Chain A
Amino acid sequence: MNYIVSDLKVVGTRPVRPDGVDKVTGRAVFAADTRGAGMLWGKILRSPHAHARIVSIDTSKAAALPGVKAVVTGADFPDIPSEEAFVGEGPMNFRDLSRNVMARGKVLYEGHALAAVAASTQAICDQALDLIDVQYEVLPFVIEVEAAMAPDAPVLHDDLFTSGVEPKATKASNIAKVVTFKKGDIEAGFKDAEVIVEGRYTTEPVHQAYIEPHACLATYAPDGQITIHASSQGHFMIRAYTAKLLGIDMANIRVNPAEIGGGFGGKTLIYLEPVAVALSKKTGRPVKIQMTREEVFRGSGPTSGATVEVKIGAKKDGTIVAAQQVLKFQAGAFPGSPINPGCMCGFAMYDLPNVDVVGYDVVSNRPKVAAYRAPGAPITSFAVESLMDDLARKLEMDPLVLRQKNAAKNGTKTHYGPTHVNIGFEQVLAAVESHPHWKTPVKPGQGRGLATGFWFNIGGESTAQVHVNEDGSITAATGSPDIGGSRASIGMMVAEVLGVPAERVRTVVADTASIGFTHVTGGSRVTFATGMAATQAAEKVVDELKKRAAMIWEIPVEAVDWHEGMAFPAGSNAGAFEPLDLAALALKAARTGGPINAEVALNAQGAGAGFGAHICDVSVDRETGQVTIERYTAVQDVGKAIHPSYVEGQIQGGAAQGIGWALNEEYIYNSKGQLENPGFLDYRCPVASDLPLIEAVLVEVPNPRHPFGARGVGEVPIVPPMAAVANAIRDAIGIRMPSLPMSPPKVRKALDLANGDD
């Protein structure tokens, strides 16, 4: 059922976050906090070379070191056959996943894992890694995407042939696939255009930069039962992929979800768990592995860097008649960049008659990319929204008016096929127009930029349980790790249905043996999909509570109403009974049929798409090239904000990450293909003192497919920032910056070039 917004008592309020006390007092248990009796430490040997054949690995000296209990290499893992799958949150081959976890034959990037040890201390592990003798045949390597596409580029995989081309490819290539999306007649569109703008843009790979490095504790019991404690965006994902890569039945693996210190898509894959299990199996003892920050950068996936070319044709009144895009995405060492969403999202905000988009998925000697908030969308939108700004200037048109003129609305057919339904982009743009930030003149010396963004949002499989405890309090259990506040939002939805305060419901994340399958926390799906399951479970509980009250009162169940957390007779004809609250009904549960609880498992469909628009004011220090964000406002259609503070936090966090992507974050490689900045000192994420308060403006266009109208909110806010910042810089200094990051040296160089200096 759908609930009437004006009747809501809990949803839309701001109760104290349920995990707050544990987190601020340090009591929250993350994977690195877990211990096992007799626990060993595990550490991984990583390649110093960007590309090399493994000639031999001699582990004998390491194995003989006192304190070392086991050593594993690729030979200790099953050879997984090629099997295309949707791994985590993107396409990947299980064979590739296995070889990313532990190299076989070749190492494909600096940091690629190729052996691991288990020992009684971390120091002994480090000594043992030094004693592993690896003989390499160093091979030519390639880092950048267009260099990897060149005909003479070093080829990473002899068996990789470009898919999506005709005639069928017969020569191995680093171009894994070519995808195209077409709508209308692009040539006719450009012929019809009165103004044409075009640009070429580059972005760097950026890491999700979660605060908590990957960590896990694995215990292989003598009877073959495996227990894993891990930090991830999906403990069912860890169970499935560990089972797949080791050839173990899933029923023999139990994964306990630890608290998670950020994921942003980067924890939808596995890196450590099969290795820890293999070491535990060899030693018979629990093994813990935790990455250092350096390992996180060298060995886990960032999102793609890319080259994007865009061309837009419009009428003089601003009506866009043609739009074209070519995207080249780095996938890292194995195929599977977010090229499809990259191709689909760039123009999704607009109603365009003629569109042509081509995308390339390209491997190179970098860590395999992983999902990162709205995978692919920020990259493509940086290019499109930068060019939209240039188009507005060329047309001498307000950039907001240009976007309003071409905005997608209900019924707009996208270039990738589907027709938009129940979207709120026009409402978002209207909120920008009326916002004081947009209406306030730009301060002297500053520049203002506007950019928009889109993300699909997804639903998917979720399981939720609602239990009425013996005292009438409520426990809600789900299979969704809580990254962005889902314990609060789910508890609030359950409380709303049951008619009790939010504090009456305690929401927990259950392990893989205690609740049904639940897809990863990603794609902005949990409050939507798991929330839908929890709401339906709570509704079942209410139905059961009404039955129990009817039994106690000896009246038909149809004569029982439920509201404010109590059963009432439905009118005077039903009888004169005192209301029964949850505690009273729980007390009688044994006599009226036993425990009162419900579980709902579903595959949620109908996730409403999300749109956002960001306004950014900057100042630029012309001497140093440093860009300062002076004011930032992020407007977004959130459907219905279940807990507005969390929603605002999601928007602020996404914007902050996007600003880091825009201004500072990049991977710097040396001439040997080795990463030179694998730490937060040299890989510069924005910190609180770098940013003003980011004002989040919540536009609520309800999603009719969710009982409370919710849409996913976590991904849209990272889509517009790069172009919003770039457009603000353009406004401030009159120079278009087409290459990320727009770091001080690059801005200074652009200023020098504009001044005619070398």
Chain B
Amino acid sequence: MPKVVISGNVGQRFTGGLAEFEVAATTFRRLVLELEQRFPGLGQQVEEGMAVAIDGEIYQDAYAAVLRPDSEIVLIPKIGGG
């Protein structure tokens, strides 16, 4: 099953400090829904204010991104630039 990793407190405040856990989702959209269901508020936080790195590649918006069974999904703050 894909593994979700949260290294910062922005995401961990929704999980009670849990930094790694597995999910059943197979797409990013389903991941958001699953996160919201398991940790209320986290799905919305990811949706509105976070980016994800899926197997190392950072997605700012990734509804269509496919999650493989061995994928690692890291929740990180959204990134801008100058």
Contact = CB atoms under 8 A, between A and B. Distances in A.
Contact of A418 (B13, B53, B60): B53
For the complex of A and B, list the 5 residue pairs with the smallest distance between their C-beta atoms, beginning with the closest.
A523-B81, A265-B82, A418-B53, A89-B80, A417-B74
A419 B58 CA distance: 10
A405 interface: no
Interface string A80-104: 0000101011110000000000000
A86 B57 contact: no
A397 interface: no
A164 B8 CA distance: 10
Nearest to A85: B48
Interface string B50-64: 000101111111100
A250 interface: no
9 contacts: A86-B49, A264-B82, A268-B82, A303-B82, A374-B81, A417-B53, A457-B81, A458-B60, A712-B81
Contacts, number: 121
Nearest to A373: B82
Contacts of A86: 49, 78, 80
B33 interface: no
B32 interface: no
Contacts of A456: 58, 79, 81
* Most A CB within 10 A of own CB, among B9, B61, B76: B9
A20 to B, nearest CB: 24
Interface stretch (A41-49, A125-133, A180-188, A425-433): A180-188
A639 interface: no
Interface residues of A, number: 55
Nearest to A266: B82
B8 A181 contact: yes
A375 B8 contact: no
A344 interface: yes
Interface in A346-366: none
A605 B79 contact: no
A653 to B, nearest CB: 12
Contact of A164 (B6, B9, B58, B76): B9
Contacts of A373: 81-82
A268 to B, nearest CB: 8
Contacts of A712: 81
Interface in A425-480: 455-460
Given A417-B7, A419-B72, A525 B81 contact: yes
Given A182-B7, A460-B60, A607-B58, A416 B76 contact: yes
Nearest to A90: B80
B40 interface: no
Contacts of A340: 10, 77, 79
A603 B61 contact: yes
Contacts of A343: 8
Contacts of B77: 179, 340-341, 344
A419 B76 CA distance: 12
Contacts of B59: 605
A257 B19 CA distance: 45
Nearest to A378: B82
Contacts of B56: 418-421
B5 interface: yes
Contacts of B7: 181-183, 415-417
B75 interface: yes
A705 B74 CA distance: 20
A459 to B, nearest CB: 7
B15 to A, nearest CB: 13
A46 B40 CA distance: 43
A607 B82 CA distance: 15
A254 B6 CA distance: 41
Contacts of A524: 81
A372 interface: yes
A178 interface: yes
A705 B48 CA distance: 25
B19 to A, nearest CB: 8
Nearest to A418: B53
A268 B62 CA distance: 23
B82 A374 contact: yes
